[in-house]
A and B are shown apart, each in its own frame.
Chain A
């Protein structure tokens, strides 16, 4: 559908960032790459500013938690090139206990709240973020609710004890 194919896109990025990216796949035609946090900002900046690519639109930043993995938390960027009508997904996995990644607010202003939301949900710390506070949850919350070990229901509830239901 887009004006450049995923092969061309991948080739273009690979010539610039040789060996720093790995191809994860193309689920439903959306090129998915994985990289490290050292070069993520360089890659995002390149994708945004390169004249043949022009991924000027940051669709989304979010994260995912795989508790069993060695690098449990992955930060996921969705970019969209409005000129070429091509989307790309970039993942960065972070090692346990060291959830630091440089901020993308230097590239897009809109990354601000997306990163705050990701911090709020997963506890990913975006280094250099101008205002990294909780955004949706109450300020004094200590846990990160979207991590898999966090329960959905409020653990402090008193009206849902088993004995109310004859269990």
Chain B
């Protein structure tokens, strides 16, 4: 009697099986569909389908005045909304030629770096969950709440922040915001260290992630990768360092670079970036001490929405309010491309203006969209379980992917 399988031409084991992964599969953390052809556990080929939450941002943007596009940018990468808000504000400021005071720049850097930390907390925490370690996620999430509390002091909202206005902030940072920020700066680094000591040399985690989904620098560049993923592959391209915006040139920070672009080096790069972000925030706090404390926006009454009390009590403010809301202020008819370093990579805004109240065309260069297109090609030959880990370390945010 034979105890081993008999192979013949019509043996079912020779056939490839098709697996429909998503769009509601829990392991994908969002709405991504991949139809994979499997040979046992190994992926032979795959096709990604996206667009399951396509919300037509670019079409809406053509129908909204500039200041009403900020809430749309919130919902691009909702894990780090402030970066999107600031990026959009800076794009419009570039178009209108508004110079922001240094204090505004530094405040923006604080908020943007907090956003970067909160984004990386989610990505690295979830990567831990996907490799079977829930603890790290729970430790870190507590500090994301701390960041959200700082946002609440700054703008009143947690996730979709809508922080700031064209020209600066809608209100000054209060004392509670600064004290919460200082508390965070004191309490978070030890937790980050603990998180790293849980993972960095953890046998299970390292075996699970090292050498998984390696990407060469050439491939990463050819696929226009950016952000931590590109840096993990060994290319030190960071918009903050290359084309500094919002006075990043005044700061001293390092751009961490990985070795081979695998999941493990992406994890390390993100952890290191959190440390650099903390450094940036600390420097910004020091620099802020030398700035006048009452400046929180540029002096551009024709574009900066005045506070409501002013509108009700002051003729001039009412006129400006009316002019801004009705789009009576002429804007230059030209085109501008501005990019910021989002948590996932180069977040670009290509704005074509015809002088009207809304953009003629606004295109978002969305890093998640561009990073994700390599997912199916790079999954070839990978184990299914590795492909899941790869997906979570790409940190693709559905809102940014589908626009």
Chain A interface residues (CB < 8 Å from chain B): 1, 25, 27-28, 30, 32, 56-60, 62, 64-65, 76, 78, 82, 85, 87, 89, 108-110, 112-114, 117, 121, 134-138, 145-146, 150, 152
B223 close to A (CB within 8 Å):
yes
A60 to B365 alpha-carbon distance, docked (Å): 7
A56 to B339 alpha-carbon distance, docked (Å): 18
User: Which of B56-64, B185-193, B202-210, B297-305 sits within the interface?
Assistant: B56-64
Residues of A within 8 A of B369 (CB): 113, 117
Least CB separation from B371: chain A residue: A110
B402 close to A (CB within 8 Å):
yes
B307-340 vs A: 1/0 string, CB under 8 Å?
Answer: 0000000000000000000000000001111010
B242 close to A (CB within 8 Å):
yes
Chain B interface residues (CB < 8 Å from chain A): 50-51, 54, 56, 58-60, 62-63, 94, 219, 221-225, 235, 237, 242-243, 334-337, 339, 346, 348, 350, 352, 360-361, 363, 365, 369-370, 373-374, 377, 402-403
Flag if A59 contacts B51 (CB, 8 Å).
Answer: no
Partner of A136, one of B50, B237, B242, B361: B50
Distance (whole angstroms) from the CB of A36 to the closest CB of chain B:
20
Flag if A59 contacts B243 (CB, 8 Å).
Answer: no
A125 to B401 alpha-carbon distance, docked (Å): 22
Flag if A152 contacts B235 (CB, 8 Å).
Answer: no
Flag if B350 contacts A109 (CB, 8 Å).
Answer: no
Residues of A within 8 A of B243 (CB): 1, 85
A85 to B347 alpha-carbon distance, docked (Å): 17
Distance (whole angstroms) from the CB of A119 to the closest CB of chain B:
13
Residues of B within 8 A of A146 (CB): 58-59
Partner of A59, one of B59, B224, B242, B403: B224
Flag if B336 contacts A28 (CB, 8 Å).
Answer: yes
Flag if B58 contacts A56 (CB, 8 Å).
Answer: no
Partner of A82, one of B59, B235, B336, B402: B235
Flag if A109 contacts B336 (CB, 8 Å).
Answer: no
Least CB separation from B339: chain A residue: A59
* Listed A/B pairs (24) with beta-carbon separation below 8 Å: A25-B334, A58-B224, A59-B224, A59-B346, A60-B350, A62-B363, A64-B361, A65-B361, A78-B337, A82-B221, A82-B237, A109-B219, A110-B224, A110-B225, A110-B370, A110-B374, A114-B224, A114-B370, A134-B51, A136-B50, A136-B51, A137-B54, A145-B59, A152-B56
Partner of A85, one of B51, B60, B242: B242
Flag if B370 contacts A152 (CB, 8 Å).
Answer: no
Flag if B350 contacts A62 (CB, 8 Å).
Answer: yes
Residues of A within 8 A of B335 (CB): 27, 32, 89
Partner of A137, one of B51, B58, B242, B346: B51
Residues of A within 8 A of B363 (CB): 60, 62
- Residue of A56, A135, A145 with highest tally of chain B CB at under 10 A: A135
Residues of A within 8 A of B350 (CB): 60, 62, 76, 78
